[in-house]
Amino acid sequence: MTEELGAMIRRVRQARGISLRQMAGRIGIHFSHLSKVENGHDSIGRESLLRLAGELDLDEDLLLASAGMQAQPFRVLGDVAAGAPIDALEDVETFDLNRTFDPRDHFLLRVNGESMIEDGIHDGDLAIIRRADRARDGETVVALVDQQEATLKHYSRCGDTVRLSPANQQMQDLIFPAEQVQVIGIFAGLIRTARHDR
């Protein structure tokens, strides 16, 4: 626990009019331990820190990040209009990609090609894929064909046949015997940057 974070916790606690002993009791630790935390001489467990965030009405993600318990989340400052102007800065929230898309269940793939452009998925984008070995009709999947070629397409199955459909009217559906197609993930999100480094 850093001295700076401990001092911030002490400032907020005092501003809320909560004594050291009261706060320690509320979060279930000894007051001498909390004193050491506030002075930067000791660390605090994740669950106790989350309880502390709740008691002090602090942003859990930012507090955990400041304690080195997770990556610093991005801050979402509001909405921006792509049409008529609006007030750009509204409610501030945080966005932690790892918390939204658990890296144990998700992976990223760089999109190569224009077959999904009508779904807003462009060449060079990073597709966030949730690991899965089966899909429902209409879902966008990453499918492995003949254990060799991976493709991002709309999935549908009819009997022993699988159809992989692009979101681009200039391209044709791909149709394969079901045994040749293995679903390895479901499209869950998209990351786009202004510059795509290859």
Catalytic residues: 115, 153
Which pairs from 135-143 meet CB under 8 Å and 24+ separation?
Answer: 135/183, 135/186, 139/186, 139/187, 140/116, 140/186, 140/187, 141/183, 141/184, 141/185, 141/186, 141/187, 142/109, 142/183, 142/184, 142/185, 142/186, 142/187, 143/181, 143/182, 143/183, 143/184
Amino acid at 20: L
Helix or strand holding residue 144 (H, E): strand 140-145
Between β-strands 106-110 and 174-177, what pairing exists: parallel, antiparallel or unpaired? unpaired
